Amino acid sequence: MQPDRAEAFCQRAQVHAKLGNPASAVEDIARALQLEPDNREFRLARGIVRLSAGDGAGAIADFTHLMQFEGDRTRLFLHRGHGYRLLGDLEKAFKDYSNAIAMCDRDAEAFASRAGVAEASGDIEGAIADFQQAAALWLNQGNWQAHQQAIAQAKKAAEASIIRVPIKYRWGGVPIVEVVLNNGCAFTFDLLLDTGASRTLITKQMAELLKIVPSGTCQSMIADGSVVTFDLGWVQSLAVQTAVVCNIQIAIGDNRITYGLLGQDFIARYNVRILENQVEFHTRSSLLS
């Protein structure tokens, strides 16, 4: 065996990988392993080189093989998570990043990596929380550049989660927005954004268009202070742009009700900001200071 030569090939392979020369990196790490096929450090390096070359499956095989041996598996889970992410398997990537965090809750890279997967999976709140944790850890480590990048990623994720809806007009100062109700067929209606209404209310005419079959009743207080009984009915979805609530039970007005209300059964799922010309629907953790 030629250990010095094998080590030189391994080190050069890692340099090639960092410089963005995956073909040369793969060639050198292969030579190192030909000389020392049982060297775990070389096997680890090959997994990392494979990641740089876009070979997610090969990298996963290397890191999984190394997990059978005793020792700290934190970085193995982290690297294997990168492999799963390359393959588009976000669920397995998320699990591996979470395992890495469970083994070392001070690993900023693991938090940042899990944040990226959470964001890609649509878990904006989880992504923001992990980006912020990564930023705090990097700050503690004195890595200002990485800290700033994580803060920027958290803000970007929060901004992307904001749904901005134009106010079509106002009725008595109350904003009116366009809402799509789907009960087999989709119809678009103008509803008052009523933060004081506990339940969404539609008119009898709207219910007839949607072919809603009443399935109960409720009592509510209307604007003049009187208490009235409304029918209840289910719709498959209620949407304001990309803000959607599925399988929601809404109230149906009688002939006296000439307008519909978007109530807290929808609004409470978001932090809502009513501006002059638009309404912003924020996910619960997207209002960053």
Same domain, 71 and 172: no
CATH number of the domain within which 201 lies: 2.40.70.10
Give 120-128 contacts, CB < 8 A, sequence gap 24+: 120/90, 121/90, 121/94, 124/157, 124/158, 124/160, 124/161, 124/283, 124/285, 124/286, 125/283, 125/284, 125/285, 125/286, 127/154, 127/157, 128/154, 128/157, 128/158, 128/285, 128/286, 128/288
Q: What is the pLDDT of residue 124?
A: 85
SS3 16: helix
**Is 153 in the same domain as 10?**
yes
Q: What is residue 269's predicted lDDT score, i.e. its pLDDT?
A: 86
Domain boundary among 103, 125, 160: 160
Same domain, 191 and 134: no
pLDDT of 143: 96
- Does residue 12 belong to any structural domain of this protein? yes
Last residue of one domain, picked from the residues 130, 160, 190: 160
The reported pLDDT for the residue numbered 17 is 85
Buried b / exposed e across 202-220, counting CB within 10 Å, b at 16+?
Answer: bbbebbeebebeeeeebeb
Which residue, 133, 160, 187, sits at the end of a domain?
A: 160
- pLDDT score of 176: 95
Instruction: Give the pLDDT confidence score for residue 111 in this predicted structure.
Output: 97
- Domain presence at residue 61: yes
- For 47-66, the pLDDT digits (tens) are 999 999 999 999 999 999 99
Residue segments in the chain with a per-residue pLDDT below the cut of 70: 1-3, 221-225, 284-289
Split into its structural domains, the chain has a count of 2
Residue 54 maps to which CATH number?
A: 1.25.40.10
Q: Which domain holds residue 111?
A: 3-160
Do 141 and 193 share a domain, yes or no?
no
**Using CA atoms, how far apart are residues 161 and 123, in angstroms rounded to an integer?**
10
84 shares its domain with 175: no
